[in-house]
Amino acid sequence: MTPGVISMDLVLFRDAIEHISRVIRVIRQPRGNMLLVGIGGSGRQSLARLATMVCNYKCFQIEVTRHYRKVEFREDLRKLYWLAGVENKHTVFLFTDTQVVEESFLEDINNMLSSGEVPNLYKPEEFEEVRSALGDSARQEGIADTPENMFTFLIDRLRANLHIVLCMSPVGDPFRNRLRMYPAFVNCTTIDWFSEWPSDALFEVADKFLDTIELPTEEVKSSVAQVFVVIHNSVADYSSKMLLEMKRHNYVTPTNYLELVSGYKLLLSEKRKEIGDAANKLRNGLFKIDDTRSKVEVMSVELEEAKVKVAQFQRQCEEYLVTLVQQKREADEQQKSVAARSEKIGIEELKCKVIAEGAQQELDETIPALEEAMRALESLNKKDMTEIKSYGRPPALVEKVLEAVMILRGSEPTWAEAKRQLGESNFLAQLSNFDKDSITDRILKKIDGYCANPDFDPDIIGRVSSAAKSLCMWVRAMDKYGHIYRVVEPKRQKLEGATSQLNEKQATLAAAKAKLKEVTDKMEDLKKQYDEKLAMKDELRRKAEQTELKLDRAGKLVEGLAAEKGRWEASVEKLEEQMHYLVGDCLVAAGFLSYMGPFLSNYREELVNAIWLEQIRKLGIPCSPGFTFAEFLGKPTTVRDWIIQGLPSDGFSTENGVIVCRCSRWPLMVDPQGQAIKWIRNMEADRGLKVIDLQQLDYLRTLENAIQFGTPVLLQNVQEELDPSLAPVLNKSIIKQGGRLMIKLGDKEIEYNPEFKFYITTKLSNPHYTPEVSTKTTITNFAVKEQGLEAQLLGIVVRKERPELEEQKDSLVINIAASKKKLVELEDEILRLLNEAQGSLLDDESLVNTLQVSKTTSTDIEEQLVISEETEIKIDAAREGYRACAQRASILFFVLNDMGRIDPMYQFSLDAYIDLFNLSIEKSQRSNKLEERIQFLNDYHTYAVYRYTCRGLFERHKLLFSFQMCAKIMEALGKLNMDEYNFFLRGGVVLDRDEQMDNPCPGWIVNSSWDNITELDKLTNFHGITASFEQYPRDWNGWFTSSEPETASLPGEWENQCNELQRMLVVRSLRPDRVSFCASSFIVNNLGSKFVEPPVLDMNAVVEDSSTKTPLIFVLSTGVDPTSGLLQLAENSGMANRFHALSLGQGQAPIATRMIKEGVREGKWVYLANCHLSLSWMPQLDKLVEQLQVEQPHPDFRLWLSSSPNPEFPISILQAGIKMTTEPPKGLRANLKRLYQLVTDQQFSQCKKPEKYKKLLFSLCFFHSILLERRKFLQLGWNIPYGFNDSDFEVSENLLSIYLDEYEDTPWEALKFLIAGVNYGGHVTDDFDRRLLNSYINQMFSEEAISTAFFKYTNCNTVRYR
């Protein structure tokens, strides 16, 4: 894959190839342009790019950013002109209708198609650059270099090279309007319609994608592809059905289908790995348990053998120990004996040593002389001997020396003998080796005579002969030694004797020591054997202890995991079964993820159960019998966390939660009640959720940072169109560069963190998103369901009524969720430890301990869980007593919610409704009896809702609201026959008139009424009613012509057979003009009369109910201006000096913003009138109102708004605010009450003639009410409708008070002229209407009205003045 390029995986089925062929054929023609018409996701852009690549053309597209406008578009067009016109490259300009930020873009493209020129595209200096670049090419073509010629040359080259391909969606009015406004789109292009993919194309795409998936058989693969087609087509059918039934748009595009197929691949792979890993973990755990059990059996045998050997070695060790002790005793005795001998011998050795040292010392004294003599002898040689021998007659001294030598040698001391011996060759050697110790005393004595001679000195003799000197020295040394030896010898002999005795004793000692050593060695040998036996015994004992410990561990392990073993075996079987069913389960789940988001629960159930699963089972694809989407993809622990984080607990919301967390496209949540926002905020709070909206100036910078750092982002309060600059994020246009993931946002590339998450919400209850938005996001309908809301309201009422119960419930829910989560974690931990254990489990003490602790904790948690769940059941039973209250409150909210379908201004916030519910709980009557308390609470809250809602409803809708409340309450109580009720709402429609009975009374029963009667006859309780018209035609005619048929008796047996609702059906069929009276009567009889008497708007009460964060919104009616009443209220509230009003319009937005900010700061009342005239500023106002929720405005601040009904008015403002309608109420009584409320206490008491004033004020109120009430009779009331308003009444009341004070007698004519002729008469233009006006004023403003008690203004007996 080329770096920085997003790859496309295309399947070219027949239709796609045809589209590509058409595009290629057209763009290869000169000036060939295309208009590709199809919904978003149908493949227009992909196939256009592929065709461009086939033709080897360059594809040019603009990139729309938040600030992309006409200037930027013109800049891109200049780049396009340079590419095609200057560089002379074949270029395809691919432009889609989603890139139309301004309509001027289309005008420029229209000009490019028709003439190639875009007016004022180039400034003179810009065109000069183009002109210079084209110069060489123009000269080659022979074109003169003038501005006109060069521009024509540019346009010609442009039109030859440029091919415009427009991709437009046929959905909605813009397509039709643009084709009419820009004729070149049709005249200068070839149109190619991209219709829905046919079934064979869908099958082919699915089959291609399934090639890489491992499925059981080819038949199953083919069946899965068929189911893909069925899923796609069925969703398209049900989208049409939902549009017809609920006016909700949902577009099914090929992109959804591709996501379905690719999502199936990913989901199947993920689930196979998930279930496979889980099963392998369990199998490994079971293997470890079985392995441990088998080892326990082996170890038990080993333990018994070890115990026997330990006993055997124990006996041997004891025997060795006895022998060892005995020998140790003998060795010790011998040791003592040897020690004593050694001590004695040691003393004798010391004595011998002293003798030897003394003798040696004396001998040592002769050693220097001997050594010197020896050296002298060594210095002699044969020559010296020859010298001495040469003497015929030696000198006397020499002769003396030789004589002494001869004496020592035991020879004759003569010269001759000496001479002879001197001639021997070994003479000197014999002297050197002379036996000194054998010199006898006789010889020594003779030598002494020589030595005593003073001349017998070596030095003296040396003078005669050096050789003789040496011999002299030898003689003297021998003499000295001989004398010393005589002293030393006895000592030596003594020493030898002592030494001899010592040697004998030492020999004896050595023998004793040898014997001791023998005993010691034997003992050491025994000790060694003893130690070995002891070591073997200890080793066996250690092994036995280890084996015993292991057996103990094994016992704990096997016992601890015994319950797990059974459950794991069951889980493995279940997982294997799930693995078998995965092919079908993932198929349904992938379809649910791709398509089910926009649908309500009833559509989801029908699609999944009646179509998808039915088809899957029919084709034999393995699928779980009780498949549910939420259980398949949602982990129970995760779902419980979601509920704690604020997700409603009903199944529909759980499915939505799974879709939001598992969808491949970013979720776009339709969230009118704010449930999704609360859940997302709580769920992602720990990850640093960033909340943005499109009104923030820096929201793109926040989004960039979140993408880089991987933090979640919530984009809230979007409308039906999304900012084009979000397209890269929504499309997940992620590219890979240098091993990093990058995304281009705006004009810069940033690093993409895979942890990034993007959530989008809208408060629109029924948005119409284009197919392009549908393909980029996963639209999910998060509208609250009755079941989920009922659970919330039940919690609220129990928390108010029984706070300790609800606190306990909340605590239990959290504890149970935490406990179940902990159980799962512990089981995962046990399995992980078993899976990671190396070798035998029994060798790893820490592992066994950890497993034991985990199991013990798990057991404790399970026990606590059982207790908690039992307690929860008891608490739920107690809470159920308040179920009726929660159910009623839930019903009423959905009645309120449905009012938004009637008028766009009827938007109600769930938060505000919950506040109202809390108020009802606090203010309703108390009772110790639960049934009575519930009844009081239901009655109070029902009327509180009616009173709260009516002030924001138009008069024509108040009866409808009451009737809807009544019907829904009765339906919940089971008191309403739904077939009859549906007939009342819809009437009868005859489908086959051939089978219809003829009208027996065509003279007075019209065909439409007879159609109703014949269809009514088909209902169970009305069989035979058509025949009764033949039996009692006169009676039916009498009933029909009666003035009040709703109270008249029905003919024949129908009077006794029909209940109130059934009587209403008859009235609805024959006298639809009296239906409203029937409905009123029905409401009075079932709810009470107060539900047909709307309360008069009390502005003071509204102010009391409001807060600084609550906008007060007047929903305007024709001819009614609430400004004066608001000014009066401000004056009465002391806010007249701090009341600021502004009528919105062009240029007023900055002033309004400044006024609101000042009001927040200084505590003013700010009134912004006619918001419908400044709809473009409403998003900014919405942002200001949102800021009020987080700021702390001045306590006196109030924001007043007025607007005519408009669907573009921000829903969030309507939901956050208190709505009030300004039209007069219906009915004389209601109008009289309202008019009296307009008169302040000061006005009522300031007139000086109170008796007259009070009576005439009533006349004026009655007069005004009569005029208003006549309008509902249309031309029967007034020939021309007039806009009588409160200003007329206020001016007339002021005139009445002034004139009564000024004149003593009542000025009747002046009052009648000013009131009827001028004030009210100013509206009247018809003479007959003026005559009627004067008749009323003459009747009501007369002397009798003042003087007569109980004066009657009408002949009706029910109305009179008191």
- pLDDT class of 4 with cuts at 50, 70, 90: very low
More confident residue, 688 or 390: 688
Residue 1023 gets the label, from left (phi > 0), alpha (psi -120 to 50) or beta, of beta
pLDDT of 1357 reads 52
pLDDT of 3 reads 44
How many other CB atoms sit within 10 Å of the CB of residue 838? 8
How many other CB atoms sit within 10 Å of the CB of residue 259? 21
| DSSP string of 667-717, one letter each residue | EEEE-TTSHHHHHHHHHTGGGT-EEE-TT-TTHHHHHHHHHHHT--EEE-S
Structure confidence by residue, pLDDT tens digits, 278-324: 888 878 877 777 777 776 667 667 667 766 776 676 676 667 666 76
Structure confidence by residue, pLDDT tens digits, 612-626: 999 998 988 888 888
- Name the β-bridge partners of 190: 34
Structure confidence by residue, pLDDT tens digits, 193-207: 988 888 888 888 888
- Name the β-bridge partners of 1166: 1140, 1199
Rg (CA), the chain: 61
Structure confidence by residue, pLDDT tens digits, 765-811: 889 888 888 888 999 998 888 888 888 888 888 888 888 876 777 77
Cβ–Cβ < 8 Å for 506, 345: yes
pLDDT of 712 reads 94
- The pair of structure tokens assigned to 319 is 């025997």
How many other CB atoms sit within 10 Å of the CB of residue 342? 14
Average pLDDT value for residue range 1260-1274: 86
Quickly tell me which residue has 């709580």 as its tokens. 682
pLDDT of 1085 reads 92
- pLDDT class of 530 with cuts at 50, 70, 90: low
Quickly tell me which residue has 């007329």 as its tokens. 1288
Average pLDDT value for residue range 1053-1063: 88
Query: Count of alpha carbons within 13 Å of 874, Cβ hemisphere only?
Result: 8
Average pLDDT value for residue range 11-24: 86
Give this prediction's pTM.
Answer: 0.72
- The pair of structure tokens assigned to 656 is 């939505």
- pLDDT class of 2 with cuts at 50, 70, 90: very low
- pLDDT class of 349 with cuts at 50, 70, 90: low
- Name the β-bridge partners of 946: none
- pLDDT class of 1362 with cuts at 50, 70, 90: very low
Checking if the pLDDT of 1185 tops 80, the result is: yes
Give CA–CA dist 1054/729, Å, rounded.
67
Average pLDDT value for residue range 1174-1201: 87
| Cα 658 off chain centre by | 10
pLDDT of 1355 reads 61
Checking if the pLDDT of 425 tops 60, the result is: yes
- pLDDT class of 1361 with cuts at 50, 70, 90: very low
pLDDT of 1359 reads 46
Give CA–CA dist 734/726, Å, rounded.
13
Quickly tell me which residue has 């290869």 as its tokens. 28
**What type of residue is 974?**
G
Structure confidence by residue, pLDDT tens digits, 801-833: 888 876 777 777 777 777 767 777 777 777 777
pLDDT of 230 reads 92
Average pLDDT value for residue range 1046-1070: 89
Checking if the pLDDT of 839 tops 80, the result is: no
Average pLDDT value for residue range 350-355: 69
pLDDT of 1179 reads 85
Quickly tell me which residue has 């003279």 as its tokens. 1003
| Cα 1050 off chain centre by | 64
Give CA–CA dist 648/654, Å, rounded.
8
With residue 341 as reference, give the H or E element that holds it. helix 254-379
Checking if the pLDDT of 927 tops 90, the result is: no
Give CA–CA dist 907/910, Å, rounded.
10
Structure confidence by residue, pLDDT tens digits, 653-667: 999 999 999 988 999
The CA-atom distances, in angstroms, between 608 and each of 599, 614, 656, 825 are 12, 8, 15, 33
**What percent of the chain clears pLDDT 90, i.e. is strictly above it?**
18
Structure confidence by residue, pLDDT tens digits, 930-988: 889 899 999 999 999 999 898 889 888 999 999 999 999 999 998 999 999 999 988 88
Checking if the pLDDT of 1249 tops 80, the result is: yes
pLDDT of 134 reads 85
pLDDT of 39 reads 84
Give CA–CA dist 272/1014, Å, rounded.
59
Give CA–CA dist 181/175, Å, rounded.
10
The CA-atom distances, in angstroms, between 362 and each of 322, 351, 487, 1094, 1333 are 60, 17, 9, 153, 177
Of the chain, the end-to-end C-alpha distance in Å amounts to 93
Cβ–Cβ < 8 Å for 203, 227: no
User: What are the residues whose beta carbons fall under 8 Å from the beta carbon of 621, sequence distance 6 or more?
Assistant: 220, 223, 224, 227, 583, 584, 587
- The pair of structure tokens assigned to 723 is 């900012």
Measured N-to-C along each axis, helices 1123-1132 and 1286-1302 cross at an angle, to the nearest 10 degrees, of 60
